[in-house]
Amino acid sequence: MSQISGQISGQISESVAAVNQRLRNAGVRLTLIVRGNTLSVRGTLPSKDGVGQKRERLRLGLPATEWGVKQAEFRAYQIWSEIVKGTFRWEVKKEKVETFGEVIERFRNSAYRDKTDQQWLAFYKAGLQLVQMDQPFQVRQVELAISGCPDGSWLRFRSVQTWVRILRFLKVSEDSIDKIKKLKGSYQYGSVVKRLIPTDEEISQARLLLKSPEWQKVFALMAIYGLRDHECWHCQVESEEPYRCRVLVGKTGERMVLPLPPHWVDWEPWLHELPRVKFSGNMSVYADRTARYFRNNKVGFPPYSLRHAYAIRASVSYGFPVSMSAKLMGHGVEVHTRIYHAWLSEAQLLETYKRMTT
């Protein structure tokens, strides 16, 4: 009978049991078993010292996933054939265990083959940098790596998101995935400290503080279209009405954005080159450079305040439904509601009330 670990999901248990039934029906006197998160076969095998036979367990180096079970069944038939022929040798049965790098590459080739390197790194680098690519893949190592991230941090939150997706692709047991999900911590998209959002007049005045045409362009793109800082380097702006901005590489994929307020297109955000930023594989380099430039030029608020101002402007000043505002921003309705409802000032609520009742 199979020895199924309590951590293995019912689906894997059923698959292993089905394999063992097929092996018995075929006269193969080997049993597929699960130890931890890996697969082995057990049966009477030639002794490792070459004298006689002994009941042994042979590690296959395969993960306890649906893919691993399929591979293990093939290996079991192969091993039994060698035993019957008298050609089985222990030294050639040392199976290569997949490394983290190999597992990640397999995931990328399957789930992200149509994405660019920049898109891949933007979404997954934070979580992937926690593991050593040349080390054997183990779910336990993922758990330990994430546990080492500060609780409540963005890094821990994003790492959990990353590895849950990869583990689901590998069809790892739901129990193991649930353990990873519980490591998310207290971070929430909307948990940032409530801040003062600059008015449109303050934004217009702050733009005049920037002497560099290149950085004025970054400022304009974030203010007019509510872009994330790194999206300024990965977008196209039309120079004719309706002056759409198409984000080509965004946190949530491509999207189209409209200018709000429309008259700010007088700043001509399609002109000039962008500042040169050496991309190191991590989108945060754009955020760091932009924030530093704002501080050095005493803008008076961080770059992301421009994006937040756009969100509130869309929902309040222009009355866009939440679903449309969220689409312009490139995130979900739930995220939009959680973040921006907390930032609606009394004056903005009164403005909406006045517009709706007059």
What is the model's pLDDT at position 251?
67
- Residue 288, SS3? helix
- Residue 121, SS3? helix
Considering the domain architecture, whether residues 163 and 287 belong to the same structural domain is answered as no
Considering the domain architecture, whether residues 78 and 106 belong to the same structural domain is answered as no
Residues 6+ apart with CB under 8 A from 134: 99, 100, 101
Residue 189 in this model has a pLDDT that exceeds 60? no
Give the C-alpha separation, 277 to 81, whole Å: 59
For residue 155, the enclosing domain spans 100-187
What is the model's pLDDT at position 117?
61
Tokens for 326, please give them: 């969220």
48 vs 180: which has the higher pLDDT? 180
Question: pLDDT-derived band of residue 221, with 50, 70 and 90 as boundaries?
Answer: very high
Is 97 exposed, middle or buried (CB count within 10 Å of its CB: 0-12, 13-18, 19+)? middle
In a domain, 193, yes or no: no
Is 343 exposed, middle or buried (CB count within 10 Å of its CB: 0-12, 13-18, 19+)? middle
Considering the domain architecture, whether residues 205 and 117 belong to the same structural domain is answered as no
In a domain, 68, yes or no: yes
Question: pLDDT-derived band of residue 265, with 50, 70 and 90 as boundaries?
Answer: very high
Residue 1 in this model has a pLDDT that exceeds 60? no
Considering the domain architecture, whether residues 273 and 293 belong to the same structural domain is answered as yes
Considering the domain architecture, whether residues 223 and 291 belong to the same structural domain is answered as yes
Considering the domain architecture, whether residues 176 and 208 belong to the same structural domain is answered as no
In a domain, 130, yes or no: yes
Q: Cis link prior to 275 (omega < 30° from 0)?
A: no
Residue 7 in this model has a pLDDT that exceeds 70? no
Given a contact cutoff of 8 angstroms between Cβ atoms, the answer to whether 251 and 227 are in contact is no
In a domain, 4, yes or no: no
Q: Which has the closest alpha carbon to 76: 113, 122, 119, 23?
A: 23
Residue that finishes a domain, picked among 120, 155, 187? 187
What is the model's pLDDT at position 116?
61
Considering the domain architecture, whether residues 15 and 74 belong to the same structural domain is answered as yes
Considering the domain architecture, whether residues 204 and 332 belong to the same structural domain is answered as yes
In a domain, 1, yes or no: no
What is the model's pLDDT at position 263?
96
In a domain, 3, yes or no: no
Which domain CATH number covers 264? 1.10.443.10
Residues 6+ apart with CB under 8 A from 227: 221, 235, 245, 247, 257, 307
Considering the domain architecture, whether residues 234 and 286 belong to the same structural domain is answered as yes
Considering the domain architecture, whether residues 170 and 24 belong to the same structural domain is answered as no
In a domain, 194, yes or no: no
**Percent of the chain, pLDDT > 70?**
83
Given a contact cutoff of 8 angstroms between Cβ atoms, the answer to whether 295 and 237 are in contact is no
Domain tally for the chain? 3
In a domain, 149, yes or no: yes
Considering the domain architecture, whether residues 353 and 220 belong to the same structural domain is answered as yes
23 vs 61: which has the higher pLDDT? 23
Residue that finishes a domain, picked among 68, 93, 118? 93
Given a contact cutoff of 8 angstroms between Cβ atoms, the answer to whether 58 and 41 are in contact is yes
What is the model's pLDDT at position 262?
95
Q: Which amino acid is at 290?
A: T
Given a contact cutoff of 8 angstroms between Cβ atoms, the answer to whether 74 and 137 are in contact is no
Residue 340 in this model has a pLDDT that exceeds 90? no
Give the C-alpha separation, 139 to 307, whole Å: 38
Residue 5 in this model has a pLDDT that exceeds 50? no
Considering the domain architecture, whether residues 230 and 342 belong to the same structural domain is answered as yes
What tens digit of pLDDT does each residue of 270-314 get? Answer: 999 999 988 766 677 888 889 889 989 989 888 989 998 999 888
Residue 93 in this model has a pLDDT that exceeds 50? no
Highest mean pLDDT among 104-118, 121-135, 194-208: 194-208
Residue that finishes a domain, picked among 62, 93, 124? 93
What tens digit of pLDDT does each residue of 315-334 get? Answer: 878 888 888 988 999 888 87
The pTM of the full predicted model, rounded to 2 decimals, is: 0.51
Query: Scanning the structure block, which residue is given the tokens 């965004």?
Result: 250
